[in-house]
Structure 1
């Protein structure tokens, strides 16, 4: 059975398979898979194993940087895919934000760190407030008390 024919659910596996589907061979990926900081490389068999039958442990940081170089995508995206695949942890990608979230992020972009910390503390404080709707008496109780 070809690597491409096997079902894959892991996010990092999908990134590798997608690159292969776009015409990037495993050999060419391996040739490009060099960590620019340490020189660590990722072999063709390791790439094929990540795609088809991922090992129990995720790639280490130099391997992640090598994979980013091989796939020509950001290290952050490789880390997010590895976290999703091995830790069942999903990161919020800016593209998945709602319109309201993007508006808030746009407003906060470029603010100095002390200002961002202040906004973060305010948001956390609001989230910890009791639900105001459940704290208010219902209309019937208000009507009874007004007589």
Structure 2
């Protein structure tokens, strides 16, 4: 069994192409013995994003606090999500997240551990960006 306070789990910068002001905390991971699902806590601070991408597995999202915009490029629409919202992303569905100048969003992501050969398809060629800001680490 693992029991830990989320505040005690270190954050890592999201280093995917085009990501801005985004961090991840791997709350439950394969290194903990998880063999079916992993649980991660993402934080996207003001003017941040995880640009549109897709992958060969589904995942489930729960918005813990704050708000952001879910981008759905195939549907050519954006959806505003906020604390308490639940989102299901099917496999191979392009999606991304973006926060405005006054928005920060923290959200949980559940994803399978046994994924098809790891293939993320990032629809950005920009490098990731992250700058420390007061109160966010």
TM range (shorter): under 0.3
1 or 2 for the larger relative contact order (CA 8 Å, sep ≥6)? 2
For the pair shown, the structure with the greater C-alpha radius of gyration is 1
**More strand per residue: 1 or 2?**
2
The TM-score, its normalising length taken from structure 1, stands at 0.22
Output the TM-score relative to the length of structure 2: 0.23
Which has the larger helix fraction?
1
